[in-house]
Structure 1
Amino acid sequence: MKRLILIFSIIIALLSGCTVKQGQLIVIEDGNRVEVRQDKSPYEHLNVESRKFPIDKYIEAVNKVDGILKPLAVSPDYSMVLAFQTTGSSVADAFNRRVVVGNMVQEVSLYVITTENGESKSLGKFLSLKDFRFDETGKSLAFIDGNSNLYMYNSISGQLQKLVSAEKWNSYNTLSWSKDSKSLMINSRMEFDIASREFISIAVESYTPFIKSKFSDNSYIVQMKNNDYNDMIAFYDFSNKSFTSIANGIYIDSDNSNVIYTKDYMSVLNIVSLKTLESKSIENGPIYCSYIMKSTGDILYTTLNNDLDSRSRYVLVKVNPATMAKTTVKLGSPTFYMSPAEDKLYIISGYSENDIEIDARDLRVHQNESVSDDTDMYGIKTALLKMFQLDYKFNDTYEKYESKAKEIYTNTYDPLPQEALENKLVDFKRYNMPIPTHQREDHIPPTIYFDQLSVTANKASINLALYYINSIEMVKKADNWYITGFSTHPSSKEVADITSIVKKHLNDIKYKNRDEAVKHWIAKEDNDFRAAQREIIEDLIDTADELIFEVGEIELWSLSDPHRAESPDRSTYAKVKIVIHDGNNTMKYKLVLSRQYKQQFEIESWNTDPLSISQLF
C-alpha cells in the first residue's frame, strides 16, 4: 500500500511540473505509471565505456566513394554512403547575397553509394542540406534541403520521396528518427508520420523519445521534451522505457565521452561529460555548424568574428575538451560538413565560384576563393552588424555610446527628415541603454537576412523581417554606409497622406482656427486626457504668431509599441516629430496618428516631453 501511495505521489509530482534532475533514472511503465529511482551513485548505470565509434569502418566505406564526390554520412550498417558534389551553378548566389549573417547554401548533386560494389545512384539536385540522418536500420535516409523541403530515400525500393514541400526556406531545420522508423521529429517539436505523409502533431508529447545517436544495444541518446516542454537530451533505454537526463538543450553531436548541445537554436554552445554529467560553456555567441570528432574528441564549430570590419565574417574554432584551448581560422562562410573519415571539412561558400576545403587535423585551408560581396553590400552588412552589436553588448557611459553611435547612424533631410541618430541618442538618455529591454530578443539573432533589398546610388532600403527591427533606410556618405531611418518609408503613399494631414493641423494652429485645431479632442463625455490635449493646442495657438512649425520625421508603427511597421500598408500608427522654432530656440514635440479600426489616419495625441520623440509611446 505504501508503495502504491509513493508511486501515485511521484506521478502527480511529474505531471504537475516537477523537474527531472540530471542523472536521475526515470522508468515509465504501461504509459501511465512512473517510478523514480535514485541509485547510490547516480551515474553507475551509465556504462559510457561501452560506446565505441567505428572510425575505421567509416574510413573503409568512404574509400568506396569516387574521388570527385564529397562524403557526408555513412549508414549504421555501413552499406551506404551519402555524398555530394557542388554543381557550380550560381542559382543560390542571389540568396546568399541577402544573408547578413547566417549559413550559406549552394546547389549540390546528391548521391548514395553502395559500399558493396561502389555503385552510385543520383538523387538529384538540391540546395545544400540543413540536416540528414539514416534511421537505425540504415535502409532509410531522411534529409532537409536548403529550401526546407523534407525527403526520404529508401535503399530497398531505391525510391526518393518528397515528404513535405515547405512554404518558406526557414520552415524546417532539424530532424530525428523515431525508434520504429515510422515517424520523424522536425525542429525538436513537430511529429511527422511517414506512412500518411502528415504532421500528426505540431507539439510532440513530453517524454516522447526521438533518436539522435545509438549508445549501446538498447540505450540511445535522444531528444525529447520534458514536462515543462523544454528541450531535453537524455539516455533512453527502449527495453524498459527508462531514461536519464543528460542536459537541457538541443542536441548537436556526441562521441563516447561527451555531448555538445546548444541552449537555444543556433546559440550558446555547451559540452556535457557523459561520465559525470557536468556541463561546460564553450561559446556564448551564435553557432552555425558544430561537430565533435569521434577519433580525437576535439570540437569544431563556427561562430561570428568579433572583428566586424573583417572581410572574413566568421571564425572556425577547434577546441580541446580537456584543456578548453582554442585554435581559430577566419572564414567567409560559417557552413561546413565534416567527412565521416574526419579528415576534411567541406565549406559551403556564399558564391558558387569558390571552392574551399580544410584539413580537420591542423585546420590548413585549401581554397580557391575569388568572389565576395561587393563594396556596397559589404558596407551595408557591416553597418547592420555593428548596430546589433552596439544594441546588445554596449554597457558604458552616454558619451562613449554617442561616439560609437555616430559611426553607425546619421540624420538626413532629403527627401524627408530621417533622424535615426537623434532617436538612438534620445533612447539612451531615456532608458540608460541603447535599446529598451522590451524591444530586444534574449540575444542577437544568429540568422539575419534581407527579406527585401533595394540599393540605388547612395541610398538603400532594406527589410530584415525581424519583429522589433525590420524596415531600415540607409545612406552612403564618404564611402561609408549609415542607418538613417527605422520604418520611415519615405516614398510611401501613407507618409504623403500623413504629411498632408499634419500640415493642415499645424496651419489650423498657426492661423488660430481653434475649432478645427481642437476638434480631435471634443466629445460628449470629456476626460482629463482630452482636456490636457486641448490645453497643449491652446498654448500653441496663444503663441502661434512667434512660432514656426515644421513637419519632422515620420515613423510608421504596427499595432502598438514596440512594433515598427514592416511595410506601409501594415501600419496602424504614425509617430510624427513636430519641429517648433521660437526665435533662436527649437523644440520638438510628438504627434501620434492612428488608423486602427479606421479607413485612414487621424490625429490622436500630442506629447511635449522631449524624451518621447524617439518612441511611439
Structure 2
Amino acid sequence: MKRIVFVLFFIFILVGCTQQEIKEGQVYVMKDNNHPEEQLGDMVNIEGRIPFQKYVNESLIDQYDSGRILLTISPNGKEIYFMERVETDNLLQVIKGETREEVIIVKEDINSKEQQVIVENIPFISKIVWNSEGSMVAFGGGGRLTIYDVKNNSVVVEEKLAQDKITNFFWSPTDENKLYSEQLDLANASIYYLDSQKKVEAYETREETYYKGKLDSNYYYGTKWDLANDDTKTVILDKQGKIIKILTSGRFRDAYQKSLVVVGERGFGLYYMPDINASDRIITLTKEYIYDVKFIDDGKIAYTTKAEDIETNLFYLHIVSNTGSELKKLKVHGGSIAVLPDGKSGFISGPKWQRVDFVENKFVEDLDFIEEEEIGELQQIYTTIRGAMTTFYNLELKGEGSRINLQKYFKNTSLPEQWAYFDMEKILQERDAKSQISDFVMEIHLKSYDIGTNNASVTIGVNTRNPYGRGVVMDYAMELIKYQGNWYVTGFSTFPYSPEREEVEEILQEVVEKIQMGKLFSGELANKAITIGQIQFWLSGMAHLAPNVESANSVKVFLQVEGEDIYKLVLEKINHNSWKPIKLTQENLSSL
C-alpha cells in the first residue's frame, strides 16, 4: 500500500547576522521508493504550493508605510525589494481607467540596511516572480515588465521590454534565462532569452504551450492555444513541456495549493476552480472585466472590477472566500493589487495607495478616499466627460440608451449652433441594438484642454475593449459649456472658434442659396426657408468625427427647413480651400 507523507515547510526570515534561505510554503507528496511512480491522470496526486513567504520579524512589514511597499524577499534571505512612489507632473492624465503612477524599485540589504535603486519611473508593481535559480527577478505592472539580474546587478533587455505591453509572465522551469510573456490580445506572446538578449515572437517558435504558474516543484500551469477552436486552454505541464491534464478554457492567473483562477477572453470574466482534481466544478465569480486578481491569505481571492458610478473613476475590490462566496466589497481608487509576501495584507494602486488587511477584510487605515475640499473646474469637467462618454459608448456599442443621462450630460446651444443633445437623440433612435456587443471596458485620457469662463474645449483619447475583439481607439474633440453650475457637452468636432469653421460658414451661405434657388439636389428644397444649424467636421474614410479640424475632409451640416424639418447636408473637401456638396437627406442623421 502506498505510504504518503506530507511535509510542510514554513519559512522564517531572521533579521540579524544569521541569514536563512527563503522558500515558499509548500506541501509535498512523498512516495516510497519501493513503488514505481505512477503517471499523472485525471486524479493529480499533488497538494500544490502556498505562494507566500512567512516571517517571524513583523517589523519587516511594519516599517513600510503607504508610500513604501515591500515587494519580495530574495530566495537567499539577504535582500528585500520594495517600491516607492515618485511624484511627477509628466504622467498622462487619466480621466477614466487605471491611473498612471510612477515608482522606483529599491533593493535593501537586510543586515547593513544599504539601499540601491535598481529601476526608476515604471508603473505600479503588481506581480513579482523569481527564476528557478534565484538569480533573476521579474517585476510587472501597468503593462510594463522589468527584469533584474541579481548576479550582475543590472536591469536586462530594458529597451525590448519597454516596447511590449506585457500583461502576464512566468519563467521557464528548466532555463533560468528564459521567460514567457502574455499580452492583452495574445495569451502566448513573446519569449525572452536573457543570456543572448533575444526576443522570439510567438509565430517564430514551435512552442504551443507557455508556462504561466507553478503547481509544485515538478509540475506547472500553462496556457495552450487551441487553434482549431480558437480557444485558450489552461493546462498542467511537467518540466519537459508535456501536457499532463487539460483543465479549462481561459487564461491562467494565479494558484493556491490545488485551486486556481482563470480569466476569460481579453480579461472579461473570472472563474475559480477550487480543486484541479474536480476540473468540471468551476465557480463563475463575475462576468465583468478583471483588472487584477490574486490569491491571498488562507486561499481567499482578491480581484478588482470597475465601480458602477459612471461619473467617478473608482473600482471595486472584491474579497472572496475559498468556497467562492463574496466576503467583502470595498470601493478603491485603483485596479492593481500588490500583495505583501506573506499574503496577509496588500496595497491597491491609485492616487493614494490604500492598504488592505486580507485577514480582517478591511482597510488598515481610514484613508478610503481622497478628500477634495474644493473640486476644481477641470475635475468637474472630468465628471461630465465620464458620464457623457459612457452614455455615448453604451449607445454606440451596446445599443442601450438613457434619456435621463442624455439630459444630464448633453445640451444644444446657439451662437454658435452646437447640437450635442440632438446628436445623441438621433443615435438613440437610429442604432440597431440587435448587433451590439454585450459588454465593454473603456479608458479615457486627457490630450489637451482650454478652459474659459463658462466654456471649455477638450480633446480626449478613448480606448475600448470587449470580449470579442480589440475594440476601438479614437480621439474626440469636445466643446463644453457651464450652465447653472453644471458642465454639459454641447458639441463634438464643431471647432467653433477655428478659421476653418469660418471658411466653411462662408461656403455654406452660397450652397444654401443655390439649394433655395433649386440649383442643387434636384430642387428638393427650392423656395424653402432654410436655417443653418450645427456644423460638424468628419473623417470620411473612417466615417468618424474628426479629432482636429486640420485633418477633416468632410463636413456634416444640419439644416432646419421651414422651422421644423431637419436635413443632413454633407460637403466633401476636394482641395485645400474647396468644399463640394455631395449629399442632402433626412435619413441616418446620426452618421455621415
Q: Give the counterpart of 1:360 among 358, 361, 365.
A: 358
1:384 CA drift (Å): 3.3
1:456 aligns with 2:452: yes
| Deviations 1:342-373, CA, capped at 9 Å, x for gaps | 222223332xxx45322122213415565559
- What code does the residue aligned with 1:201 have? E
How many residues in Structure 1 have an aligned counterpart in Structure 2?
527
Q: For residues 403 and 70 of structure 1, do their structure 2 counterparts lie closer, same or farther at Cα, with a shift above 3 Å needed?
A: closer
Q: For residues 329 and 145 of structure 1, do their structure 2 counterparts lie closer, same or farther at Cα, with a shift above 3 Å needed?
A: closer
SS in structure 2 at match of 1:112: strand
Which residue in 1 is equivalent to 2:573?
595
Which residue in 1 is equivalent to 2:564?
586
Q: For residues 144 and 359 of structure 1, do their structure 2 counterparts lie closer, same or farther at Cα, with a shift above 3 Å needed?
A: closer
**Greater Cα offset, 228-237 or 152-161:** 228-237
Given that 1:59 and 1:341 are in contact with CA atoms closer than 8 Å, whether structure 2 keeps it comes out as: yes
Which residue in 1 is equivalent to 2:11?
none
Q: For residues 454 and 275 of structure 1, do their structure 2 counterparts lie closer, same or farther at Cα, with a shift above 3 Å needed?
A: farther
Which residue in 1 is equivalent to 2:72?
73
Q: For residues 102 and 554 of structure 1, do their structure 2 counterparts lie closer, same or farther at Cα, with a shift above 3 Å needed?
A: same
Given that 1:209 and 1:223 are in contact with CA atoms closer than 8 Å, whether structure 2 keeps it comes out as: yes
Given that 1:411 and 1:418 are in contact with CA atoms closer than 8 Å, whether structure 2 keeps it comes out as: yes
Q: Give the counterpart of 1:477 among 478, 483, 494.
A: 483
| Deviations 1:140-195, CA, capped at 9 Å, x for gaps | 1223465x654321111222235226788x94443333442334424242334434
Q: Which runs of 5+ in 1 are unaligned?
A: 1-38, 519-533
1:424 aligns with 2:405: no
Q: For residues 346 and 236 of structure 1, do their structure 2 counterparts lie closer, same or farther at Cα, with a shift above 3 Å needed?
A: same
- What code does the residue aligned with 2:365 have? H
Given that 2:391 and 2:401 are in contact with CA atoms closer than 8 Å, whether structure 1 keeps it comes out as: no
Which residue in 1 is equivalent to 2:380?
379
| Deviations 1:62-113, CA, capped at 9 Å, x for gaps | 86578235212345666654312334x2446x53xx2122223433331234
- What code does the residue aligned with 1:82 have? Y
1:288 aligns with 2:291: yes
* C-alpha distance in structure 1 between counterparts of 2:62 and 2:573, whole Å: 64
Q: Aligned runs of 1:234-245 on 2, under 5 Å? A: 234-239=235-240, 241-245=242-246
Higher strand share: 2
* C-alpha distance in structure 1 between counterparts of 2:234 and 2:324, whole Å: 24
Q: For residues 201 and 552 of structure 1, do their structure 2 counterparts lie closer, same or farther at Cα, with a shift above 3 Å needed?
A: same
1:204 CA drift (Å): 6.2
1:288 CA drift (Å): 2.4
Q: Give the counterpart of 2:530 among 545, 549, 561.
A: 549
* C-alpha distance in structure 2 between counterparts of 1:364 and 1:132, whole Å: 23
* C-alpha distance in structure 2 between counterparts of 1:166 and 1:498, whole Å: 47
* C-alpha distance in structure 2 between counterparts of 1:448 and 1:390, whole Å: 13
* C-alpha distance in structure 1 between counterparts of 2:57 and 2:203, whole Å: 38
Given that 2:171 and 2:180 are in contact with CA atoms closer than 8 Å, whether structure 1 keeps it comes out as: yes
* C-alpha distance in structure 2 between counterparts of 1:75 and 1:203, whole Å: 34
1:339 CA drift (Å): 0.6
- What code does the residue aligned with 1:71 have? L
| Deviations 1:469-505, CA, capped at 9 Å, x for gaps | 5313322222222222223333344433333322221
Q: For residues 508 and 254 of structure 1, do their structure 2 counterparts lie closer, same or farther at Cα, with a shift above 3 Å needed?
A: same
Q: Give the counterpart of 1:134 among 105, 130, 135.
A: 130
Q: Which runs of 5+ in 2 are unaligned?
A: 1-37, 464-471
Which residue in 1 is equivalent to 2:158?
163
- What code does the residue aligned with 1:51 have? G
1:185 aligns with 2:177: no
Which residue in 1 is equivalent to 2:335?
334
- What code does the residue aligned with 2:572 have? S
* C-alpha distance in structure 2 between counterparts of 1:247 and 1:399, whole Å: 33
SS in structure 2 at match of 1:406: helix
Given that 1:468 and 1:562 are in contact with CA atoms closer than 8 Å, whether structure 2 keeps it comes out as: no
Q: Aligned runs of 1:54-453 on 2, under 5 Å? A: 55=52, 57-59=53-55, 67-68=63-64, 69-75=68-74, 80-87=79-86, 89-91=87-89, 95=92, 98-113=93-108, 120-130=115-125, 131-144=127-140, 150-161=145-156, 163-164=158-159, 171-179=165-173, 180=175, 181-187=177-183, 188=187, 189-201=189-201, 203=203, 205=205, 207-227=207-227, 230-239=231-240, 241-273=242-274, 274-277=276-279, 278-293=281-296, 295-308=297-310, 313-350=314-351, 354=352, 356-362=354-360, 363-368=362-367, 372=372, 374-390=375-391, 401-414=402-415, 416-431=416-431, 437=435, 443-453=439-449
SS in structure 2 at match of 1:386: helix
1:291 CA drift (Å): 1.3
TM-score scaled to structure 1, two decimals? 0.75
1:564 CA drift (Å): 2.4
Given that 1:231 and 1:250 are in contact with CA atoms closer than 8 Å, whether structure 2 keeps it comes out as: yes
Higher helix share: 1
* C-alpha distance in structure 1 between counterparts of 2:504 and 2:202, whole Å: 43
* C-alpha distance in structure 2 between counterparts of 1:599 and 1:322, whole Å: 66
Given that 1:206 and 1:226 are in contact with CA atoms closer than 8 Å, whether structure 2 keeps it comes out as: no
Which residue in 2 is equivalent to 1:526?
none
RMSD: 3.6
* C-alpha distance in structure 1 between counterparts of 2:72 and 2:61, whole Å: 11
